[in-house]
Amino acid sequence: MDYNFNFAAVWRDFDLLMSGLGLGLILAVISIAIGCFIGLLAAFGMLSKNRAIRWVSAGYVSAIRNTPILVLILFTFFALPQLGIRFGKIESFIVTLSVYSGAYLTEVFRAGLIALPTGLREAGLSIGLTEFGTKLNLIIPVMFRNVLPSLSNNFISLFKDTSLAAAIAVPELTFYARKINVETFRVIETWMIASLMYVLACYVIAAVLRQVETRLAIPR
């Protein structure tokens, strides 16, 4: 193998890669925030007494989870405009990733809700809270804290999924890596650095989230 390493060509564009990494993080944060909201609704939906609501929620989760995310991304960006639903590429990606993460978070929240002791709701009702007040003050906060570790895992895989935004030319890390790859032909260096950046980012995110988890955990 006669390949001459030359990292300088890639380092020159390191700030581009960093900005791409930053954008990926932002996309993941926004999407998981919206996804949490969707997931919460669908999780309550799956546990609803109303059969139609249960059915719609379960259908959403099962459809999204069994469809490749790339198909969802392309569908939102290229096909929805046919119905007059038009987004910019970043917005389009956020919509896709939110709906996508919502389906996974539905499962997380549903499991969290089922695991709660029934006494929690009853104690809330017995001091005169309404069903809604019980959900808002007791059920959701306790469930949320209990599922924080799964939430962290979901966030990390969501962050990795932002690499797919490159498929619709959103300028995140993978997009710039491909660009640099083509422009410099420093193939090995480019992909080594790009994947190292992802790996390190995942480590850092995991460490930060573990801190957050212990900070927010219910003391016992």
Partner 1 sequence: MSSPVLEIVDLHKRFGALEVLKGINLTMHQGDVVSLIGSSGSGKTTLLRCVNLLEEYEDGVVAVAGEQIGYTKKNGKRVRLSEREIARQRAMTGMAFQHFNLFPHMTAMHNVMLGLIKTRRMKKDEAHSVAEKWLERVGMLARRDHYPGQLSGGQQQRVAIARAIAMNPQLMLFDEVTSALDPELVNEVLSVVRDLAKDGMTMLLVTHEMQFAHDVSSKVIFMDDGRIGEEGPPDQLFRQPKSERLAAFLKSSKFS
Partner 2 sequence: MEIVRAFDAIWAARWPILDGIANTLLISGLSILFGTALGVGVGLLLSYGGRIVRFFVRVYSDFLRGTPVFVLILACFYILSVIGLQLTAFQAGIFALMLFCSSHVGEIVRGALQAIPPGQTEAAKSIGLTFRTTFFSVLLPQALRQILPTWVNTATEIVKASTLLSIIGVVELLLSVQQVISRTYLSLELYFFAGFVFFLINFVIEKAGRIVERKIAIPT
3-state SS of the chain is: CCCCCCCHHHHCCHHHHHHHHHHHHHHHHHHHHHHHHHHHHHHHHHCCCCHHHHHHHHHHHHHHHCCCHHHHHHHHHHHHHHHCCCCCHHHHHHHHHHHHHHHHHHHHHHHHHHHCCHHHHHHHHHCCCCHHHHHHHHHHHHHHHHCHHHHHHHHHHHHHHHHHHHHHCCCCHHHHHHHHHHHHCCHHHHHHHHHHHHHHHHHHHHHHHHHHHHHHCCCC
Cβ-based nearer residue to partner 1, 1 or 218:
218
Of the ranges 10-18, 36-44, 110-118, 200-208, which one interacts with partner 2 (CB under 8 A)? 200-208
Of the ranges 78-86, 108-116, 133-141, 209-217, which one interacts with partner 2 (CB under 8 A)? 78-86
Q: Does 219 bind partner 1 (CB under 8 A)?
A: yes
In the list 60, 109, 155, 198, the residue contacting partner 2 (rule: CB under 8 A) is: 198
The one of partner 1, partner 2, none whose footprint includes residue 123, by CB under 5 to 8 A per kind, is partner 1
In the list 4, 5, 68, 119, the residue contacting partner 1 (rule: CB under 8 A) is: 119
Q: Does 49 bind partner 1 (CB under 8 A)?
A: no
In the list 11, 37, 55, 203, the residue contacting partner 2 (rule: CB under 8 A) is: 203
Min CB(5)–partner 2 separation in Å: 11
Site residues for partner 1 per CB under 8 A: 117, 119-120, 122-131, 133, 137-138, 141-142, 145, 218-220
